[in-house]
Amino acid sequence: MGQKDIISKSILKRILLDMAVYLFRLELVDAELLSTEEQRIEDRRSDLVAKVNPVRGDPFILHLEIQNANDGQMPVRMLRYLADIHLTYPGYRVHQCLVYIGAERLSMAAGLDSPQLQYRYEIVDMRDIDYRTLYDSQSPDALVLAILGDFGGDDPQEVVVRLLLKLRALAGQDEGRLREYLQMLEVLADNRHLGVNIQEAYDMLQIDIERLPSYRKGMEKGMEKGMEKGERLKALQVARELVALNFSPEQIAAITKLPLAEIAKLEK
């Protein structure tokens, strides 16, 4: 699996159903991801759009947006996405949800109030979600999300160890599956500055990093070889996707090892 695959929206697509069920309490049977390629020539596409089947009632369109940083224009962006989705998939009810995974406290509004309209969407701050709600699940995808939750009074290092132990148990003998979940966990852990805790837990549990290569280790090795053309293109692709997820330039630089000046060009 290449670096761009690890960071890409495919991570979010895999956990869409779990986010809808555990964070927004939607009783869904399954979800079919829909294309957003038609939306907006300036490439301001919504993150995840799916046609979902609820336990009761008719299918509807679920729009799930992932936000890494506070954005004062988020309600306007969400309203624009709503209009695009209605135009692309007419006849369906649209349910919009925003998941905030940033390091700072949530300060964004959950809608707009103006003389023309009153508009609302659901918003969840992962800091307010008790990590044990997700930890108790038998779904590895939900377990990965737990790293973004509220640890309460639990020691972060102990929480990370618990998550790794349960992930390893759920993956069983499927090392490829375990590797994928560890990679997902590391990427999300960066939003809580838990990278050091992850590495210490690897050492404690004697997880073979060489045999189960992490995203960070893979990137470091690639950069040590002089950032060959292929690796550089991958790093740029990773950076573009992180820009789309509203990661800060400093976070992107730390992950991709690209210069800040080069990242600034991608944001224009």
Structure-token match 């964070």, residue found? 23
CA distance 9 to 34: 13
Whether pLDDT at 215 is above 60: no
> Per-residue pLDDT for 204 more than 90?
no
Tokens 């090892």 locate to: 257
| Residue 18, domain member (yes or no) | no
Which two structure tokens, joined as six digits, stand for 243?
């820009």
Mean pLDDT value of segment 33-45? 52
102 lies in a domain?
yes
Q: What is the pTM of this model?
A: 0.67
Q: Among residues 128, 154, 177, which one ends one of the domains?
A: 128
From 82, 112, 128, the end of a domain falls on 128
Mean pLDDT of the chain: 80
Same domain, yes or no: 43 and 113: yes
pLDDT in tens, 69-109: 899 999 999 999 999 999 999 999 999 999 998 888 899 99
Same domain, 39 and 116: yes
**Residues 247, 188 share a domain:** no
Predicted confidence at residue 219, as pLDDT, reads 47
**Mean pLDDT, range 168-194, rounded to an integer:** 83
**Percent of the chain residues topping a pLDDT of 90:** 34
Look-up of token digits 């990093």: 209
Structural domain that includes position 92: 24-128
